[in-house]
Structure 1
Amino acid sequence: MESLPSWVTRLLHIRLVSGPLPTTIWVIVGVGVAILLLWQVFRSDRSKLARQVPIMLVCGGFGLLVMWLLSEKIMVFGVSLGWPVIMAAAACCALLGLLVTTIVHARRARRLMAAVLIPFVLVSTALRIDSIYGEYQTIGSLIGYSSYHPLSTSHMQKGTLTVDEWLREVLDGKLPPAAAHGKVYSVDISNTASGFRARTAAVYMPPAALSDTPPELPVLVMLAGQPGNPDRVFSASGIAAILDQYAKAHHGLAPIVISPDQNGDNTVNSLCADTTKVGRAETYLTVDVPRWIKAHLPVSRQARDWAIGGFSQGGTCATQLGPRHPDIFGSIIAVDGELKPTAGSVEHMVAEYFNGDRSAYEAQVPANAIADHAPSNQIMILGAGKRDARSIKNVIVNGQAGVKAGMHVVKIVVPDTGHDWHSVNATLEAAVPWLCAHRWGLGETGLTWSDYPRIEVLQ
């Protein structure tokens, strides 16, 4: 990774969802609008306020109506935006209405002040919406900047011990204690089998994996949404911190998490399938990626110790690929996934992606994939934000299909979240330690699903 000047690095690491930057901008907007209103109230032209306030309310109401229609009725974004986003957009329209009328009716100083506040209102709204989704955590993430150093696989040791053997040697003092924290690296995965043009992947190596004699560890393949990129899994989900906390309590043990690229570009939806339009994404994810992982990282070879997960489009991919490849993935974690891969109408996808073969598309529908590969002893953990009604319905439908196929299914709803990375974080906070303890044998947590206050488990 090319070195950048320190001031550029600091700039790229400035946080967008919390911290001084968004707080400062929100304060500027709040104080600025308050000054404009008070300035007008205590001057002789306060009567103009009687015209400006109704205009502000009309603009806010219009923004509310348009956003509600786009989000809940037309659904131009494919999912509900949620009321917090709708209200943030409505508030932006109301403030812009106030500022524009102030520019029209006020004189020099207030006119200039109102004009200066307009970009601050737009930026503050963008930051508010970003904080709701948790999508872009830093300035660097806006431009796809990655702070992760390349992983040197030539120095990576293969796992030669089982987890139990490695743990006994650590406790007996035959191996040094594991590091305090894991690390996230960037990696380039060869596409020998698929030819799929994927972007650079990212991988979390837990402390045990970084030891000189690492054990054979479980693997979690995590897919970001679309638009999105592999780094987003680590910058937005908080999974590295979750696993560091687990590893701290279990002698450095935690799964290796790798986030490969399933789309090739932010503007592309590969459907996570082998298609004539985008390429052999399924082969890349189920042949090239596992082959590279087993060749270079200290991992278990057993499907029981492998899981695939994802958010939004990545969650849909997880519920497609997991059931279709039970020989690779023993567990599935999907948050806010859909009932079917979607890039336009079914007719469009069949024609453009599958060369007119409707059966090839239908085989990719999660419920069909689950039924086609039943019976199954896989574990499937499905999550959704409580404000995302559509995703909750999807959880129920896919969950029922999983139960019918014999899967162990856990359905999670996350209060106070929608179709966003906050629901991913809460789901992973419960699901990954549970898998570590109950599926992968890395160490008990003493916790059950009901002990995690940020989630609700559907029966």
Structure 2
Amino acid sequence: MAQDSLPDAVLQQLHHREGLVGSWWPAVALLALAAGLVLLGVRLRSRGRRTWLPAGAAVVALAAATATGVNAWTGYLPSAQAVQTLASGQVPDTDGTVTQVSVPLRAGSGLEPSQTWVYTPPGYDASGSTRYPVVYLFHGEPGSSADWFTAGDVAHTADVLVHDGLIPPVVLVAPDLTSPDTDDTECLNSTRPGGPQVETHLLDVVSYVDAHYATQADPEHRIAAGMSMGAFCAVDQGLRHQDVYGAIIGLEAFGNPGQGGLDALTSEAQYRAVSPDHYLPQLQMTRKTPVYLDTAEDGDPVSARETQHLLAELQAKGLPVAHHVEAGQQHDWDFAALGIAHGLVWTVDQLGLAPQRAQDSPSPSEAAPGSDATATG
């Protein structure tokens, strides 16, 4: 059993996401408005008057109620700040700097130009001597490269963890994983004619970041992290590209690419070759890649089951592995925002990158009773 890696004071700083925008109240208010407009329309009709205006307004209110209800359920826009970030492309109130870049596409990639979001930490100097670790953040499906900075609020998380000495200053990179025809790419290279070559593009993103930012350009200083589909991406890409990524964070992960993989590939052999729950027993490990897996207590039952299978296979490989269950959380971005904080603290410790202050404290991988996390390796 491993202790919770986040002190209470840090958790309090991270729990600032609740707000009116991300609550159920806007949906409730809009539903009430829609009902009131319907009643108004009925009354007007009984008096022989036109009802198109209240009827149209009721439809708009109902659609808005549905949208805000979905947002409250998924946590895509948890706050007014998240709405501002999505609308402007700027992240307010961060100690670092967030920009968007367009990574060039190869001819025949099957992809469209997109924005990759990049966070550089406070004090970052591209021309200085300091080189930084990089965390690659993969979004879910449906999703976009903005999600980790709007729904996941990851810039704030990095600010807090760096300020409190729990992780070193890091560069965060969130690429777009979608294709023109589907969001469910699973980060794979499609073998269908003209299919999207997402895996190749992700490797190009790594090369681009190392060429344009002050990074420590080796696997020991790169972490692959993701939520849901992105968690599968992190696990699969991290295991099959050990020369690129040195650690893995999977939040509500899966052991195979599911329907997205079936759509992208043309044979069962190809599918099995990119499914960790199939290839892990035969996979040759060239390094002791730390793997952090996090599940929500009330999350996706398929992910929970497949995470247990992944844990067993990874432990059989003798890898450093941790599994944490986020109490009271669901398969949404509120969970991911909390899980990424736990995962970053654990993985930087495993990679030997934790700041001296954190190294002087009990390690996240040390035994402690009463925790809901497990660690091996």
Shift in alpha-carbon separation, 1:326–1:26, aligned structure 2, 3 A: closer
Q: Which residue of structure 2 lines up, in the alignment, with residue 427 of structure 1?
A: 339
Q: Which residue of structure 1 lines up, in the alignment, with residue 196 of structure 2?
A: 279
The alpha carbon displacement at 1:199 in A equals 1.5
Q: Determine which structure has greater relative contact order: mean sequence separation of CA pairs < 8 Å that are 6+ residues apart, divided by chain length.
A: 2
Q: Which residue of structure 2 lines up, in the alignment, with residue 334 of structure 1?
A: 250
What SS does the corresponding residue of 1:415 show, helix, strand or coil?
A: strand
In structure 1, what is the Cα distance between the partners aligned to 2:225 and 2:319?
16
* TM value normalised by structure 1: 0.63
Q: Which residue of structure 2 lines up, in the alignment, with residue 441 of structure 1?
A: 353
> Higher helix proportion, which one?
1
Q: Which residue of structure 1 lines up, in the alignment, with residue 14 of structure 2?
A: none
Shift in alpha-carbon separation, 1:263–1:332, aligned structure 2, 3 A: same
Equivalent positions of 1:307-346 (< 5 A) are 307-343=223-259
Length, aligned pairs only: 341
Q: Which residue among 105, 110, 131 is the counterpart of 1:191?
A: 105
Q: Which residue among 324, 328, 333 is the counterpart of 1:412?
A: 324
In structure 1, what is the Cα distance between the partners aligned to 2:199 and 2:294?
23
Q: Which residue of structure 2 lines up, in the alignment, with residue 209 of structure 1?
A: 124
Contact 2:186 2:257 in 1 (8 A): yes
Equivalent positions of 1:225-304 (< 5 A) are 225-250=140-165, 253-265=168-180, 267-277=182-192, 278-286=195-203, 288-304=204-220
Contact 2:290 2:347 in 1 (8 A): no
In structure 2, what is the Cα distance between the partners aligned to 1:422 and 1:269?
21
Structure 1 unaligned regions, length at least 5 = 1-15, 34-94, 150-179
In structure 1, what is the Cα distance between the partners aligned to 2:150 and 2:340?
14
CA offsets, 1:375-432, max 9 Å, x none? 4511111112211222211211111111112211111211222211111111112111
Shift in alpha-carbon separation, 1:28–1:274, aligned structure 2, 3 A: closer
Aligned-CA RMSD value: 3.9
Q: Which residue of structure 2 lines up, in the alignment, with residue 218 of structure 1?
A: 133
Q: Which residue among 363, 375, 399 is the counterpart of 2:273?
A: 363
In structure 2, what is the Cα distance between the partners aligned to 1:195 and 1:318?
21
The alpha carbon displacement at 1:295 in A equals 0.9
In structure 2, what is the Cα distance between the partners aligned to 1:243 and 1:305?
16
Residue 20 of structure 2 aligns with an amino acid whose one-letter code is G
Residue 385 of structure 1 aligns with an amino acid whose one-letter code is A
In structure 1, what is the Cα distance between the partners aligned to 2:159 and 2:78?
19
Q: Which residue of structure 1 lines up, in the alignment, with residue 304 of structure 2?
A: 392
Equivalent positions of 1:115-194 (< 5 A) are 120=61, 123-137=64-78, 145-148=87-90, 181-192=95-106
The alpha carbon displacement at 1:291 in A equals 1.1
Residue 371 of structure 1 aligns with an amino acid whose one-letter code is P
**Further displaced range: 404-413 or 18-27:** 18-27
Q: Which residue of structure 2 lines up, in the alignment, with residue 19 of structure 1?
A: 20
The alpha carbon displacement at 1:322 in A equals 0.6
Shift in alpha-carbon separation, 1:371–1:256, aligned structure 2, 3 A: farther
Contact 1:385 1:391 in 2 (8 A): no
* TM value normalised by structure 2: 0.76
Shift in alpha-carbon separation, 1:363–1:428, aligned structure 2, 3 A: same
What SS does the corresponding residue of 1:275 show, helix, strand or coil?
A: coil
Contact 1:305 1:330 in 2 (8 A): yes
Shift in alpha-carbon separation, 1:108–1:254, aligned structure 2, 3 A: farther
What SS does the corresponding residue of 2:298 show, helix, strand or coil?
A: coil
Structure 2 unaligned regions, length at least 5 = 1-16
